[in-house]
Amino acid sequence: MALHVLITGGSQGAGKATALKFAAQGWDVTVAARAGDRLNQVADQIQNYGQKALAVPTDVGKAEQVNALISQSLDKFGQIDALINNAGICLTGPMANTSLEDWRQILDTNLWGCIHTIHAALPAMLSRGQGSIVNVGSFGGKMPLPQMTAYCTSKYALTGLTESLRLELSPQGIHVGIVHPGVINSDFMERAMFRGKNEDEATGRRQQMSKMLGDRWVSQPEDIAAAVWTMVQKRQAETIVGPAAIATELNRLLPQLTQWALGKATESV
Ligand SMILES: NC(=O)c1ccc[n+]([C@@H]2O[C@H](COP(=O)([O-])OP(=O)(O)OC[C@H]3O[C@@H](n4cnc5c(N)ncnc54)[C@H](OP(=O)(O)O)[C@@H]3O)[C@@H](O)[C@H]2O)c1
């Protein structure tokens, strides 16, 4: 019987690349995201690898939808060998221009989304005493990023959740890891929110981000998929993907200098 992975945010970007990576390696796959049409296309691609696929339209911020996702997935496949919490959205802008509704949306998706899936999937993993939980964080969960307070809050929280949960679950046979991407040339601009004092400032931020996505050092979705795959295979604790590994290490060793340089690099935006 094939192993089975459940991936949130599996319809696009890094989540889709991860779904196809696991399918190519002979795993059956459940994919979840809000838009069902894109999920169904990914399910067709998984089946083209000869694997079983389940596509479940789900908003990970809604506990009842996540509970339904996990039970449908367990009904079809019997067990979840790996849970990949990848769904996430990005917000750039100053705190003063970030509404409470923005905060809720970021935290509901990037943090509560992971809490919901883990809460629902954990009893079945604990009863088998095996399984892997991989959260997709961000280098913004390892170092501060300018104008990204809400996003970094969600990703630092995910780092804390992962590290604490690992302490608790590894003696019970369950692997818990976190992949921290740097900037990915994915589909995230579709959902990314840009805020500013006015429309021009928000548009300037959007344009700066769009321009950055063409840079050579930016990761591709397949790089994240490869890191998630390796993390599950080797039961790794943490990986930082791409040149972001250098930035986070610099910030660890020389926080004042790194943060001063970050501020300078972004002060015109
Ligand atoms: N892109 C970057 O530069 C970057 C950098 C560091 C970390 N990351 C992290 O890497 C992960 C993947 O990012 P990506 O760039 O591949 O994103 P992406 O291309 O925008 O894809 C995001 C996926 O998440 C789904 N999603 C969004 N909100 C959701 C919700 N409430 N419920 C369920 N699914 C939801 C989307 O589908 P629907 O919209 O249909 O729901 C889509 O499938 C995220 O956790 C992100 O924070 C990204």
87 C-alpha vs ligand 1 centroid, how far in Å? 4
pLDDT for residue 75: 98
Reference 69, options 122, 31, 105; nearest CA is 31
Q: Give backbone dihedrals phi and psi of 20, rounded to 5 degrees, phi first.
A: -70, -35
CB atoms within 10 A of CB 193: 19
**Considering the entire predicted model, what is its pTM?**
0.97
Q: Which atom of ligand 1 is nearest to the CA of 11?
A: 43
> 4-244: what CATH class?
alpha beta
Q: Give pLDDT < 50 ranges for the chain.
A: none
Q: Is 186 in the pocket of ligand 1 (CB under 6 A)?
A: yes
Protein residue with its CA nearest to atom 42 in ligand 1: 9
Q: Is 59 in the pocket of ligand 1 (CB under 6 A)?
A: yes
Give dist(CA 11, CA 33) in Å, integer.
6
Model confidence pLDDT, tens digit, residues 214-233 = 888 999 999 999 999 999 99
pLDDT for residue 269: 57
Burial environment of residue 68 by CB neighbours within 10 A (0 to 12, 13 to 18, 19 or more): middle
pLDDT for residue 268: 59
Give dist(CA 52, CA 49) in Å, integer.
9
